[in-house]
């Protein structure tokens, strides 16, 4: 056995000694035994588990459940909790005790990780408040502000594959319950590393002196969210289907729609209750092909008017509408279409009694449709483009509404400073009910918005790679030899946001503005081995806008094939 392999085994045995979880401990012990006997597959597996640490960043932690420093497990969570506790204690004003709220969803080990965290926060002398049961992520984001907490932790992997889990961190106070951003992420990561370097998670102080929040926290979220859009007159006949995608959304959402006055939906029974195996979908993300098939089938059978879906932790919203032009007669609205409708709703509300208050704004990520900016201009509101992620969107000055095209929407910033698929669903139901009262549909509303601000269409090209260095080479090639056109459409301006100045956000993003008014954005994915290209066009008709996007899609694929 080589020295490198021997060092790997030593590292794995050290991890094994501090692991409190019998399942991962037994798994790792077997792997060490096989690797020690020279099993190449076991050695490769160990190397992947211990070659690095699962990185803590602005999205917290997220990864596959298994033993090892590069996986999600009780050792890693204990280190993260202890490091975060040290960070909060360091930042606390003298003589004060920081408060942390902890929530968890229905994934495997979510409650275990949440309870470990509560015990470690309490053991560090913090006030730790554990939410009373598994709940949606937006309830945790709400609770941070509602309880005046200094921080929050949500144990969830959102819409990731079934064997993943994660650890999402929020800050209270001046951050108003938003997710962390730099430099807090690096400072927390440094504290976590110091805990990890000690190599003994079992010695981290723990206490069972944490609190369990009462139902009043959930009741307050229900009341605040029901108030987002109380059902208008004439809603009683609304026929709709809901799916929780095997997640935690239904219990809370069902209470809210009842309090808001909406008729109960037909639910997709197979997907209504929490199930960590996500047995009816290959990928529990309503954006993925096939994920909403059961909901659409139910809607067709029962003659529904719309479908509403949450992802497993209910921070995202998907909407389906009847469409005879597509196979199966139903289609999912894009994130940009839903964002446009909800942004239009917010703009009308902000100006219902006259001009909006100075500084009132709409916001979206820079890869979302520029249609929201057109709505803001039409209604005299400010508009902000941010880097991707609600940690940035939620911090837009004067925000009345914010969204990103990946099905995330912030409709009630006074109570939740994060994407919230439940409050967004209530707002969407309000729009659908109002339209229905005048014999219109959500599709008709999209036409009404287009009549005010123009017709927009969006598309996306995703290039998945086995070797992530390919993405870097393509981005470098685009910078070193900038394209002059995409197909027959000339590029009028190129912006490299690595060197952005002024108010433009900085990131590994190339933005091209085209002569016909279209826009193309190229960036590496932040979560997957993909290069992503976002296409947006505006035209005098919906057909012309879609045709422009289709033409750019073909030209971009051809260009990337040559540059790759």
pLDDT digits (tens, 9 = 90+) for 82-130: 999 999 999 999 999 999 999 999 999 999 999 999 999 999 999 999 9
Residue 511 scores a pLDDT above 70? yes
Same-domain pairing of 261 and 393: yes
- Catalytic residue, candidates 158, 178, 365, 518: 158
User: How many residues does the structure list for the chain?
Assistant: 564
Residue 518 scores a pLDDT above 90? yes
What is the pLDDT at residue 41? Answer: 96
Same-domain pairing of 116 and 232: no
What is the pLDDT at residue 499? Answer: 72
Q: What is the CATH number of the domain that holds 541?
A: 3.30.310.50
Same-domain pairing of 293 and 353: yes
Q: What is the CATH number of the domain that holds 160?
A: 3.40.120.10
Same-domain pairing of 449 and 459: no
What is the pLDDT at residue 501? Answer: 56
Same-domain pairing of 40 and 61: no
Lookup: tokens for 198: 């000690």
- The pLDDT-based confidence of 22 (bands split at 50, 70, 90) is very high
Question: Whole-model pTM?
Answer: 0.94
Same-domain pairing of 429 and 505: no
Residue 555 scores a pLDDT above 90? yes
Active site annotation includes 178:
no
Is the separation of the CB atoms in 511 and 521 below 8 Å?
yes
- The last residue of one of the domains, among 404, 420, 453, is 453
Domain count along the chain: 4
Same-domain pairing of 461 and 447: no
- The pLDDT-based confidence of 525 (bands split at 50, 70, 90) is confident
Same-domain pairing of 66 and 175: yes
Residue labelled with tokens 């509602």: 146
Residue 264 scores a pLDDT above 70? yes
The Cα-based distances of 545 to 269, 331, 447, 487 in angstroms read: 39, 19, 13, 16
Same-domain pairing of 443 and 554: no
Residue 564 scores a pLDDT above 90? no
| Residues of the chain above pLDDT 90, percent | 89
Task: Quick: pLDDT tens for 81-90.
Answer: 999 999 999 9
Residue 357 scores a pLDDT above 90? yes
Dihedral-angle region of residue 518 (phi above 0 means left; psi in -120 to 50 means alpha; beta otherwise): beta
Residue span of the structural domain in which 390 resides: 215-453
- The last residue of one of the domains, among 162, 178, 213, is 213
Same-domain pairing of 192 and 71: yes
Task: Quick: pLDDT tens for 150-161.
Answer: 999 999 999 999
- The pLDDT-based confidence of 504 (bands split at 50, 70, 90) is low
The Cα-based distances of 421 to 23, 81, 158, 510 in angstroms read: 34, 27, 12, 30
What is the pLDDT at residue 502? Answer: 54
- The last residue of one of the domains, among 453, 474, 509, is 453
């Amino acid at each position: 056995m080589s020295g490198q392999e021997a060092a790997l085994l030593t590292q794995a045995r050290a991890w094994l000694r501090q692991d409190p979880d019998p399942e991962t401990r037994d798994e790792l012990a077997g792997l060490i035994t096989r690797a020690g006997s020279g099993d190449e597959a076991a050695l490769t597996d160990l190397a992947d588990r211990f070659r690095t640490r699962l990185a803590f960043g602005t999205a917290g932690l997220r990864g596959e459940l298994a033993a090892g420093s590069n996986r999600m497990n009780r050792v890693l969570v204990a280190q993260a909790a202890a490091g975060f506790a040290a960070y909060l204690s360091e930042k606390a004003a003298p003589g004060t005790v920081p408060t942390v709220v902890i929530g968890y969803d229905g994934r495997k080990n979510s409650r275990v990780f949440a309870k470990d965290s509560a015990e470690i926060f309490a053991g560090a002398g913090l006030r730790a408040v554990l939410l009373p049961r598994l709940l949606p992520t937006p309830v945790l984001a709400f609770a941070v502000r509602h309880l005046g907490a200094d921080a929050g932790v949500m144990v969830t992997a959102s819409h990731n594959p079934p064997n993943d889990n994660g650890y999402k961190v929020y800050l209270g106070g001046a951050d108003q319950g938003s997710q962390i951003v730099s430099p807090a992420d690096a400072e927390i990561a440094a504290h976590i590393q110091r805990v990890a370097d000690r190599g003994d998670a079992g010695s981290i102080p723990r206490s069972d002196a944490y609190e369990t929040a009462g139902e009043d926290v959930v009741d307050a979220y229900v009341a605040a969210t029901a108030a987002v859009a109380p059902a208008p007159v004439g809603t009683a006949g609304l026929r709709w289907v809901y799916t929780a995608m095997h997640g935690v959304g239904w219990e809370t959402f069902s209470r809210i729609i009842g309090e808001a006055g909406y008729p109960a939906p037909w639910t997709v029974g197979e997907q209504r209750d929490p199930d960590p195996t996500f047995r009816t979908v290959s990928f529990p993300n309503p954006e993925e092909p096939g994920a909403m098939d059961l909901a659409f089938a139910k809607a067709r059978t029962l003659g529904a008017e719309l479908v509403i879906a949450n992802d497993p932790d209910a921070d995202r919203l998907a909407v389906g509408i009847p469409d005879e032009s597509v196979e199966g007669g139903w289609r999912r609205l894009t994130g940009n279409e839903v964002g446009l409708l909800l942004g239009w709703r917010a703009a009308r509300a902000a100006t219902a009694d006259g001009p909006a208050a100075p500084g009132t704004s709409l916001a979206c990520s820079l890869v979302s449709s520029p249609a929201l900016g057109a709505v803001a201009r039409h209604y005299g509101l400010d508009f902000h483009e941010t880097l991707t992620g609600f940690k940035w969107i939620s911090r837009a000055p004067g925000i009345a509404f914010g969204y990103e095209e990946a099905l995330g929407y912030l409709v009630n910033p006074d109570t939740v400073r994060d994407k919230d698929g439940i409050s967004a669903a209530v707002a969407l139901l309000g729009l659908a009910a109002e339209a229905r009262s005048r014999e219109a549909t959500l599709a008709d509303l999209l036409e009404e918005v287009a009549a005010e601000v123009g017709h927009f269409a969006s598309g996306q090209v995703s290039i998945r790679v086995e070797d992530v260095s390919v993405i870097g080479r393509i981005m470098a090639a685009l910078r070193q030899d900038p394209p002059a056109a995409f197909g027959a459409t000339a590029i009028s301006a190129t912006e490299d946001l690595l060197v952005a100045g002024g108010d433009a956000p900085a990131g590994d993003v190339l933005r091209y503005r085209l002569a016909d008014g279209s826009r193309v954005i190229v960036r590496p994915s932040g979560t997957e081995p993909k290069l992503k290209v976002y296409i947006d066009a505006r035209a005098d008709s919906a057909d012309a806008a879609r045709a422009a996007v289709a033409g750019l899609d073909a030209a971009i694929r051809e260009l990337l094939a040559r540059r790759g």
